[in-house]
Chain A
C-alpha cells in the first residue's frame, strides 16, 4: 500500500516519534544536589515519575475538573449547535447564509486571542458585560467558585467553536434527500416534527463525529483557562491536565513528571475517544 506511505511518514514523525520521546523523558529525572548551583544531571528513575504523578492530588483533581467541565460543556455545545443549525435550515431565520458566517466567524479567532478579548470582558470596572450581569443578578461579580469558573471558560469555548459544529451539521442536513422531507411534510409534519423526527435521526453520524471531536478538544483545554486565570480566582495553575503538564515542565522544571503526566493523559483521552466511538454504534 505505497499510497499510504505519506500518511504513515507524517504520522510517524509528528505523532509516534514525539510520543516515543515523551516515553523516554518520562523515565528520567533532573536532579541537582546541595544548594543547586552546580546545575542538574539526568538520573534514571524507572516508573518513579508515574507513581508520583498518579499520587499527586493536583493531577487527579485536574481530571475531576475537566470531567465536570465536559459534562457541562459538551451537551451545551452540541445542543446549541443543533438548535442554531435547525433554525437556520428551517428557513425561519432571515439571512441564513449571513448568520451562518456570523456564527462561524469566532472560529477563525485563535483561542489565545479569544481569551484575551474575554479577559477584558470579564474585568470589573472595564467591561460593560460585568455591569449588565451585576444589574440583572443583583449580586456582585465573582469568578471565584468552581461553577462560575467553568461557566466563564465554557462561554468562551462555545462562542469560539459553536460555528464549526454548525457548519458540520448544516452540511449533513444538505445531504438529506429532499423527497424524504417532502414526504414528511405531505404527511402533515410541521417544522418542529420534521426537525426532531426526520432531520435529527438522519444526521446522527455527523453528530457522533462532532461529539467525538468536542470531547477530545474539551479535554485538552489549556489556553483559555490559562489566560482567564488572572480574572477567575477559581482557576489555579493546575486546573486542567494540560495546565498541570505545563506547570510541571516550565514552572517546576520537571520534564520527567510532565512527560509522565502527558502520557497518562493521552491514555485517558484515547480511552474517552474509544468510548465515544463505541457509543456511536449503539
Chain B
C-alpha cells in the first residue's frame, strides 16, 4: 500500500500544480520565453537530502516545466561551484543558498530578486524569523525552506537511568556535565561548541549578540564584543575542565556510536541524520530546547536553506514556480520528508503538519519532534543578521580555532582577528563599513 499512496497523491496534485504554474505565468510581467510552446527546462543545484526525489515528484506532477537536477557534494562546495558556474555562464536556474551565505552571494551579484508576486507570497506565507533573513536591501531574494532551529538532542535512556534532568540553562548544563563525568568517566555530556564556526555563531545568536547590523547603507561589524567574550569563557571552561569532548569529528562519531555522548546540539535538520548515523540507538533519543542563558526559552538559527533564482537564469517564472512548489505546497514538503531522510522543519508554518505526518519519528520514541522544533523556532531572536563576508568569516574562524585547539590562544581572543579579517575583506570589496 505504501507504494500506492504517493502515486495517488501525485496524480491528484498534478492538476493543482498546473494551476499554480498557470497562475504564475498569468501574472508575470518581466520575462519572455516562458510562455512559448512546449515545456521549459530549468536546472536546479543542491546538496540537500532527498532533492532528487523532490525534483522527480515535481516533474511527474506537471508538464510545463522540466527540472534537471545537478548535485553538489556538500554545502561547502556549493558556493564556489555557484560562483564559478556563473562566471562560466553555466549557472543553474535555481540555487540553494543557506541563510548565512545569502548576503555574501548577493554581494557577488549571483542572484536576481524575486518577482513582485513571489515576494508577496514570501511576505504572506513565511514568519518574520525567516523573512528577516531573505528580505535584504528592499528586495526579497529567496523562498525559505526550513527554519533550522538549534535544538538539543539527548539520550533519554541514559538521563532516565540515572535520574538526571535534561539541562534547561547553561549553568545546569555545566552541572549536569560534571554529574555525567562522575557517573561514567568514559562519557561526556556532549561535544564542545568551540570547534565549529556554525555552533559558535548559534550560541552567540542565542545569547543576544549581533555580529552584523546593516544600517544607513553601511555595515556595523561587531564580532568582538562583551557578550561573545563571556560566552567564549563558558566554552573555554567546559573544555578546560574536560567536561565536554574536544576531539576531531571522526572520533566524536565513534564516541557517540559507543554511547559515550549523552547530548548533541544541532539544527532541527539533524533529526534526519541521527537515525541514519546511529541506527542501533533507535528509540533512545529525544529532542528538547537548547539550554539558555536566562532560563527563558531561547534558540538560534543553525544553517537552514533557501532557494533562489540566479542572476543568469532566463526562466525566472518557471524557476519561481518550481521553488514555490518545493517550499509552499504540501506535495513539495512531503516529497522532501518522505522516507525520513530529511527532517526539515518547514519555514512555512502551514506545512509543518504535512512534514509531521510523513516523517517517521520512531527513532525519537514517537516524540513530536516538530512541536519541539516549532517551539525552538518561535524562540529564535529575530534581530540577527548575517554579513556579506560569510566565507571569509568562516575561514578566519577555522584558522583561529586551529590555534585554540593547539593551545596557542584562548577562545575569547580569536574574535578580534576574525573581525579584522571580515572588515578587511568588506573594505577590499568596496562594501561600506562603519
Give the distance to chain B from A26, nearest Cβ to Cβ, in Å.
15
A39 part of interface (Cβ distance < 8 Å): yes
Residue of A nearest to B110 (CB): A39
- Docked Cα-Cα span, A157 to B104, in Å, equals 35
Residue of B nearest to A231 (CB): B248
Q: Collect the chain A residues with CB atoms within 8 Å of residue B391's CB.
A: 250-253
User: 1/0 per residue B407-434: CB within 8 Å of A?
Assistant: 1100000000000000001101111100
Q: Collect the chain A residues with CB atoms within 8 Å of residue B388's CB.
A: 32, 35-37
Cβ A40 vs Cβ B218 within 8 A: no
- Docked Cα-Cα span, A32 to B428, in Å, equals 9
Cβ A237 vs Cβ B430 within 8 A: no
Cβ A125 vs Cβ B137 within 8 A: no
- From 31 to 54 in chain A, residues with beta carbon under 8 angstroms from any chain B beta carbon are 31-40, 52
Give how many B residues have a beta carbon under 8 Å from the other chain's beta carbons. Answer: 43
Contact of B405 among A32, A37, A39, A233 (CB under 8 A): A233
A131 part of interface (Cβ distance < 8 Å): no
Contact flag A252-B392 (CB < 8 Å), given A35-B217, A144-B408: yes
Q: Collect the chain B residues with CB atoms within 8 Å of residue A107's CB.
A: none
Cβ A31 vs Cβ B248 within 8 A: no
Residue of B nearest to A236 (CB): B399
Q: Collect the chain B residues with CB atoms within 8 Å of residue A235's CB.
A: 402
Q: Collect the chain A residues with CB atoms within 8 Å of residue B428's CB.
A: 52, 252, 254, 257
- Docked Cα-Cα span, A233 to B405, in Å, equals 7
User: 1/0 per residue A12-41: CB within 8 Å of B?
Assistant: 000000000000000000111111111110
Q: Collect the chain A residues with CB atoms within 8 Å of residue B242's CB.
A: none
A interface: dominant SS: loop
B251 part of interface (Cβ distance < 8 Å): yes
Cβ B248 vs Cβ A124 within 8 A: yes
- From 271 to 324 in chain B, residues with beta carbon under 8 angstroms from any chain A beta carbon are 311
Cβ A38 vs Cβ B405 within 8 A: no
A142 part of interface (Cβ distance < 8 Å): yes
Q: Collect the chain A residues with CB atoms within 8 Å of residue B405's CB.
A: 144, 233
A175 part of interface (Cβ distance < 8 Å): no
Cβ B106 vs Cβ A36 within 8 A: yes
Give the distance to chain A from B11, nearest Cβ to Cβ, in Å.
42
Contact flag A236-B402 (CB < 8 Å), given A35-B214, A36-B388, A37-B107: yes
Q: Collect the chain B residues with CB atoms within 8 Å of residue A257's CB.
A: 428
Contact flag A233-B425 (CB < 8 Å), given A33-B431, A36-B107, A123-B248: no
- From 112 to 128 in chain A, residues with beta carbon under 8 angstroms from any chain B beta carbon are 120, 123-126
Give the distance to chain A from B215, nearest Cβ to Cβ, in Å.
9
- From 375 to 394 in chain B, residues with beta carbon under 8 angstroms from any chain A beta carbon are 388-389, 391-392, 394
- Docked Cα-Cα span, A234 to B405, in Å, equals 10
Q: Collect the chain A residues with CB atoms within 8 Å of residue B104's CB.
A: 253
Cβ B251 vs Cβ A36 within 8 A: no
Cβ B137 vs Cβ A126 within 8 A: no
Give the distance to chain B from A195, nearest Cβ to Cβ, in Å.
43
B178 part of interface (Cβ distance < 8 Å): no
Give the distance to chain A from B196, nearest Cβ to Cβ, in Å.
12
Contact of A34 among B83, B218, B247, B402 (CB under 8 A): B218
Query: In which size bucket is the chain A interface?
Result: 35 or more
Contact flag A252-B425 (CB < 8 Å), given A33-B432, A39-B106, A237-B395: yes
Q: Collect the chain A residues with CB atoms within 8 Å of residue B92's CB.
A: none
Give the distance to chain A from B290, nearest Cβ to Cβ, in Å.
26
- Docked Cα-Cα span, A251 to B424, in Å, equals 13
- Docked Cα-Cα span, A52 to B104, in Å, equals 22
Cβ B403 vs Cβ A233 within 8 A: yes
Give the distance to chain B from A17, nearest Cβ to Cβ, in Å.
15
A62 part of interface (Cβ distance < 8 Å): no
- Docked Cα-Cα span, A234 to B406, in Å, equals 8
Q: Collect the chain B residues with CB atoms within 8 Å of residue A230's CB.
A: 248, 398
A229 part of interface (Cβ distance < 8 Å): yes
User: 1/0 per residue A69-84: CB within 8 Å of B?
Assistant: 0000000000000000
Q: Collect the chain A residues with CB atoms within 8 Å of residue B407's CB.
A: 144
A100 part of interface (Cβ distance < 8 Å): no
B139 part of interface (Cβ distance < 8 Å): yes
- From 166 to 208 in chain B, residues with beta carbon under 8 angstroms from any chain A beta carbon are none
Q: Collect the chain B residues with CB atoms within 8 Å of residue A229's CB.
A: 402
A247 part of interface (Cβ distance < 8 Å): yes
- Docked Cα-Cα span, A237 to B391, in Å, equals 12
Q: Collect the chain A residues with CB atoms within 8 Å of residue B83's CB.
A: 250, 253
Q: Collect the chain A residues with CB atoms within 8 Å of residue B429's CB.
A: 30-32, 36, 40, 252-254
- From 78 to 95 in chain A, residues with beta carbon under 8 angstroms from any chain B beta carbon are none
Cβ A247 vs Cβ B395 within 8 A: yes
B70 part of interface (Cβ distance < 8 Å): no
Cβ B430 vs Cβ A125 within 8 A: no
Cβ A35 vs Cβ B395 within 8 A: no
Contact flag A120-B425 (CB < 8 Å), given A32-B431, A39-B106, A144-B407: no
B36 part of interface (Cβ distance < 8 Å): no
Give the distance to chain B from A12, nearest Cβ to Cβ, in Å.
21
Residue of A nearest to B106 (CB): A37
Give the distance to chain A from B309, nearest Cβ to Cβ, in Å.
14
B144 part of interface (Cβ distance < 8 Å): no
Contact flag A126-B254 (CB < 8 Å), given A39-B107, A252-B425, A253-B83: yes
20 contacts between A and B (CB under 8 A): A31-B429, A34-B218, A35-B136, A36-B219, A39-B107, A39-B110, A40-B429, A120-B250, A124-B251, A126-B251, A126-B254, A229-B402, A231-B248, A234-B406, A236-B402, A237-B395, A250-B80, A251-B395, A252-B425, A253-B391
Other A-B pairs beyond A30-B429, A33-B432, 5, CB < 8 Å: A35-B218, A120-B250, A124-B251, A144-B408, A251-B391
* 8 A-B pairs closest in CB distance: A39-B109, A37-B137, A144-B406, A36-B107, A31-B430, A233-B406, A233-B402, A36-B431
